[in-house]
């Protein structure tokens, strides 16, 4: 690992309401567990989105990602997004879990599970939820390459700023 592994907590931190579950964890994500959180006899559709770490960005080899956050604030923002999406799309249930710390190539960094009476609402709600999480949640991403890392907003395609280590000559 290039940078220090700074964990603010162990296990999973979560907020749960009747039909909305949000959490942050340093542990590998579990798609089956996430889907089980939203399954219901009232739901005719369950949609699961898994955001995975890809091996390249702008033709550069990515070695891994590292996510950090201020958990109390990020959980509240996630909860607010889920409440809004749940209401706007008349969902049965929604669950969002974001991984923190190092996330290797091919591993999941976010799981969004949505259940709804019909598939169209579930598909639309899942995509809208992802876009709102990327735009609003206080989670920061370091993208690491073979020649160093960059801080990047959690948005597709945006350029980043070099990560400067404490003993880095550039700092």
**Feature table: binding site for substrate:** 118-119, 134, 141-143
Supply φ then ψ for residue 144, to 5 degrees.
-105, 135
| Cα separation, 28 vs 48, whole angstroms | 16
Backbone angles phi, psi at 42, to 5 degrees: -85, -10
114 burial class (0-12, 13-18, 19+ CB within 10 angstroms)?
Answer: buried
Residue 67: exposure state from Cβ atoms within 10 A (0-12, 13-18, ≥19): buried
- Residues annotated within the binding site are 118-119, 134, 141-143
Pairing type for strands 56-57 and 93-99 reads unpaired
DSSP at 8: S
Contacts of 80 (CB under 8 A, 6+ apart): none
């Amino acid at each position: 690992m290039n940078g220090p592994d700074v964990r603010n907590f162990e296990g999973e931190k979560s907020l749960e309401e009747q039909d909305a579950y949000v959490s942050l964890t340093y542990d590998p994500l579990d798609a089956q567990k996430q889907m089980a959180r939203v399954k219901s006899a009232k739901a005719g559709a369950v949609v699961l989105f898994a955001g995975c770490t890809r091996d390249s960005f702008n033709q550069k080899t990515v070695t891994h990602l590292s996510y950090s956050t201020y958990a109390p604030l990020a959980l509240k923002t996630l909860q607010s997004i889920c409440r809004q999406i749940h209401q706007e799309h008349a969902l049965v249930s929604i669950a969002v879990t974001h991984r923190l710390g190092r996330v290797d190539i091919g591993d999941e960094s976010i799981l969004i599970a949505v259940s709804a009476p019909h598939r169209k609402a579930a598909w639309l709600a899942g995509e809208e939820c992802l876009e709102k999480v990327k735009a609003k949640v206080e989670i920061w991403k370091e993208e690491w390459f073979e020649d160093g890392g960059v801080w990047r907003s959690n948005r597709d395609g945006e350029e980043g700023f070099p990560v400067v280590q404490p003993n880095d000559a550039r700092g």
